[in-house]
Amino acid sequence: MTLPLDSKLRIGVQGIHRRIESALGPWMPSQAELRAVVERVDRAGYDSLWVGDHISFPLAILDPFLQIAQAAMVSSRLTFGSGVYLLPLRNPAAVAKQASTLDHLTEGRLILGVGVGGEFPKEYEACGVPREERGARLGEGIEAMRQLWSGKPATYQGKHYRFTDVTMQPPPRTPGGPPIWCGGRSDAALARTGRLADGWLSYVVTPEMYRAALDKIAQSAKDSGRKLSSFGTSHLLFARVDKTYDAALDAASAMLSQRYAMDFRKATQRYAALGEPAQVAEKIQAFYDAGVRHLVLDFVGPPEDRDAQIDWFAAEVFPRLRSLTGK
């Protein structure tokens, strides 16, 4: 089985508010900043805007659903996505209601990216969820949400979630609910994606790893008896445009090492798109050739550089990708 892929490449940006840490006091985002970022991404011609999710994280981070709700009032064109929402930390019925509401507020321009996380165990401790149950809870959560999105009395009997004859109104604007894209790189995560998801959102993989993972997802979908008319193939890509590769690497690895509280330089070299516009475009071409059709750019480096990165990429990398994006 071959996954049905679109020919067009879509490109989005990760992050609405800047993540800024200050020794002088708490980080306080403003409504003006949110409007400015959304308007900048929209004006520059990107296709989507994405936000991450954590309960506890080394850097400041806001709730993704609330950010999307605000951003949807600013842009009537952009698609909005969660990349990824840690569904096992929450009750899927409550998430189904929130996601359905967002599907209305965005007028059907929502992609619900979900995943298990797990690299920060304290999140699971704080939410009272055993970390070893995260995969099973994610699978059940997806199934339960889809039942609730039918608009009819829904019943679900799983190991972790159970309910009988529950009606959730109104149903989502998108028939059947917003598309669910799963994250994850393990064999179990890829099998789950093929079995249950509408798309895959990858993270810290190479183009070669991406291509191999799509084969596993396709095999899982085939084994599950699914007949897919469409499937979203997405990748969250660390990126930085700069005058030289070395300058981009230095700035990107410094920021990522802080974000993940570890030395991230070698991983930055392996996984990020860095350097002059032509070098960044070449890396993106490799991911397209591997099957990526929706690229989510996480512009890394000093937070105050992000606006310039958004504009620089749009001005000098987009033209090099015109054959892929049609722009």
Residues 182 and 201: their CA atoms lie apart, in Å, by 6
Strands 154-157 and 162-166: antiparallel
Alpha carbon separation from 77 to 4, 31, 165, 170 (Å, rounded): 25, 19, 37, 23
Which residues fall within 8 angstroms of residue 175, CB to CB, at 6 or more apart? none
**DSSP summary character for residue 112:** E
pLDDT of residue 303: 84
Would you list the DSSP string of 19-77? ----TTS-----HHHHHHHHHHHHHTT-SEEEE---SS-SS----HHHHHHHHTTT-SS
Rounded-to-integer distance, Cα 189 and Cα 191, Å: 5
Instruction: Identify the pLDDT of residue 118.
Output: 83
| SS percent in the chain: helix, strand, coil, step 5 | 45, 20, 35
Q: Which CATH number fits domain 47-182: 3.40.50.2300, 3.20.20.30, 3.40.50.300, 3.60.15.10?
A: 3.20.20.30
The whole-number mean pLDDT for each consecutive block of 10 residues of the chain, a chain of 327 residues, reads: 93 78 54 91 98 89 94 97 97 98 98 93 95 97 98 97 98 98 96 98 97 98 95 98 98 92 94 98 98 97 92 98 94
296/307 Cα distance (integer angstroms): 16
Please check whether residue 90 is in contact with residue 51, taking contact to mean a CB–CB distance below 8 angstroms.
no
Q: Which residues pair with 203 in a beta bridge?
A: 236
Query: How far is Cα of residue 100 from the mean position of the Cα atoms in its chain?
Result: 18
- CA–CA separation, 51 vs 298, rounded Å? 10
Q: Which of 175, 166, 184, 165 is nearest to 94 (CA)?
A: 166
For residue 144, give Cα distances in angstroms to 6, 11, 99: 28, 30, 13
d(CA 158, CA 141): 9
Give the pLDDT confidence score for residue 124 in this predicted structure.
95
pLDDT at 259: 83
Coil, strand or helix at 122? helix
Residue 132: per-residue pLDDT: 96
Angstrom CA distances, 181 to 82, 83, 168, 199, 231, stand at 9, 9, 22, 4, 9
Residues 6+ apart with CB under 8 A from 76: 107
Determine if the pTM surpasses 0.85. yes
By the 8 A CB rule, do 118 and 134 touch?
Answer: yes
Residue-range domain boundaries for the chain: 1-45+222-327, 47-182
The pLDDT value given to residue 24: 41
pLDDT recorded at residue 30: 80
